[in-house]
């Protein structure tokens, strides 16, 4: 199969759709890889690294899209890139279509694109194998993000996460006991914070209780419990995820008004719409804004700034699915691989992911 890797066009997207190691694995079994010049530079990969792995370097995105049967990206194609898509192509990316403009889906349907969303590839045991490592990274980055924006020069209240002798640590509220939440909990505890974990499922909280030996205060995420902890939390990490669907709104505008002045919301769920009513996407260049005297950090591609680690991480999870598609084609790969089938959001001019069918039927 002819596989294309374009330069990422989304703002501040530094990751790359394929590493040289992935190229080598694919070319060794007979596939042809076309890499746009400079596609891997921000992740620390030179064009010569891809060439040594067996890829052909091409000089613009139009050539990549024109040559390839399958496109492997990180972020969803931008609006200008949609014009470059060829009818019937396979495009793998973190699509997050529930939070995308309607015109993105309409373009996929018009061109009969097979769109495979990494974030909805899901094994029978519930694991999201491609999204999982990026969720781990985002969770582990939460304390370093918090440390920066709690500083006085970041607009925060001038607090040290772990406190000191005679000075208490900060209180951190984590909403969602999934992969992001677990990793954020581990990282904040390591930094010395006091952590409160809220989740809608009691069994998830029991896992947290056992895993962290009672160091975490756990509560069921009823509205009144969320409102109660918001009043004293210095940092809130929004980590609630429903695969393929818009994130649930857990923090209302009224709740926000009762929060500590200069407290911080890190909305890691923003790529699916966000968990706070006041959340809107930001960028790594301008990651924070203030509403009702509460700082909001709402960068959708958090792991992009650790681009080399992140590229290796998600591609480790993606590799079996990309290889199956390249080797067997869409129909055979979908029929034999249930996890991959769950990742297909559009195919042959139809929306095929249940949650998106419901979303677009109601819009």
Count of residues in the chain: 363
What is the count of structural domains for the chain? 2
Decide if 271 is catalytic: yes
Identify whether residues 231 and 340 lie together within a single domain: no
pLDDT at 354: 76
Catalytic residue among 31, 96, 132, 234: 96
Do 190 and 277 belong together in one domain? yes
The domain of 291 spans 132-300
Average pLDDT over residues 140-158: 97
257 in the same domain as 140: yes
HEC-encoded secondary structure of 35-89: EECCCCHHHCCCHHHHHHCCCEEECCHHHHHHHCCEEEEEECCCHHHHCCCCCCC
Tell me, yes or no, whether 78 and 198 share the same domain: no
Instruction: Indicate if 31 belongs to the active site.
Output: no
Q: What is the pLDDT of residues 69-88, one digit of tens each?
A: 999 999 999 999 999 999 99
Q: Is there a domain that residue 118 lies in? A: no
Is residue 152 located within the same domain as residue 282? yes
What confidence tier does 4 reach under pLDDT thresholds 50, 70, 90?
very high
Residue 9 sits in a domain whose CATH number is 3.40.50.720
Phi, psi of 25 (to 5 degrees): -60, -40
Domain membership flag for residue 117: no
Query: Each residue of 333-345: b (16+ CB within 10 Å) or e?
Result: bbeebebbbbbbb
Please indicate, yes or no, whether residues 274 and 213 belong to a single structural domain of this protein.
yes
pLDDT at res. 67: 96
CA dihedral 332, 337, 339, 343 (to 10 degrees): 0
Same domain assignment for residues 156 and 283: yes
> What DSSP character marks residue 259?
S
The token pair at 164 is 């000191």
Q: Which residues of 301-317 are buried (b: 16+ CB within 10 A; e: fewer)?
A: bbbbbbbbbbbbbbbbb
Per-residue pLDDT of 19-45, as tens digits, reads: 999 999 999 999 999 999 999 999 999
> Are 314 and 230 part of one and the same domain?
no
Which member of 271, 296, 347, 353 is catalytic? 271
Whether 318 is covered by a domain: the verdict is: yes
Interval 310-351: pLDDT, tens: 999 999 999 999 999 999 999 999 999 999 999 999 999 998
């Amino acid at each position: 199969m002819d596989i294309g890797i374009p330069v990422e066009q989304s703002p501040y997207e530094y990751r790359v759709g394929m590493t040289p190691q992935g190229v080598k694995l694919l070319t060794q079994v007979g596939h042809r890889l076309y890499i746009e010049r400079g596609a891997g530079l921000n992740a620390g990969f030179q064009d010569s690294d891809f060439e040594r792995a067996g890829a052909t370097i091409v000089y613009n995105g139009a050539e990549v899209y024109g040559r390839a049967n399958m496109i492997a990206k990180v972020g969803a194609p931008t609006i200008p890139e949609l014009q470059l898509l060829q009818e019937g192509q396979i495009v793998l990316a973190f699509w997050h279509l529930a939070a995308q403009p309607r015109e993105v889906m309409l373009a996929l349907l018009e061109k009969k694109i097979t769109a495979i969303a990494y974030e909805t590839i899901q094994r029978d045991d519930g694991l999201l194998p491609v999204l999982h490592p990026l969720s781990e990274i985002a969770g582990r980055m939460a304390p370093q993000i918090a440390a920066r924006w709690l500083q006085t020069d970041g607009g925060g209240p001038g607090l040290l996460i772990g406190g000191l002798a005679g000075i208490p640590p900060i209180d951190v509220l984590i909403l969602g006991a999934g992969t992001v939440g677990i990793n954020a909990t581990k990282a904040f505890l390591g930094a010395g914070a006091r952590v409160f974990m809220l989740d809608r499922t009691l069994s998830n909280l029991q896992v947290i209780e056992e895993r962290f030996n009672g160091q975490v205060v756990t509560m069921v995420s009823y509205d009144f419990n969320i409102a109660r902890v918001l009043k004293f939390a210095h940092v809130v990490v929004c980590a609630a995820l429903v695969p393929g669907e818009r994130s649930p709104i857990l923090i209302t505008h009224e709740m926000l008004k009762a929060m500590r002045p200069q407290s911080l919301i890190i909305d890691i769920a923003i790529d699916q719409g966000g968990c706070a009513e006041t959340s809107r996407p930001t960028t790594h260049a301008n990651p924070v804004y203030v509403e009702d005297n509460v700082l909001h950090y709402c960068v959708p591609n958090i792991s992009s700034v650790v681009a080399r680690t992140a590229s290796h991480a998600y591609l480790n999870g993606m590799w079996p699915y990309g290889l199956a598609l390249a080797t067997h084609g869409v129909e055979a790969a979908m029929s034999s691989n249930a996890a991959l089938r769950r990742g297909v959001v559009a195919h042959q001019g139809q929306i095929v992911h249940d949650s998106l069918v419901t979303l677009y039927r109601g819009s």
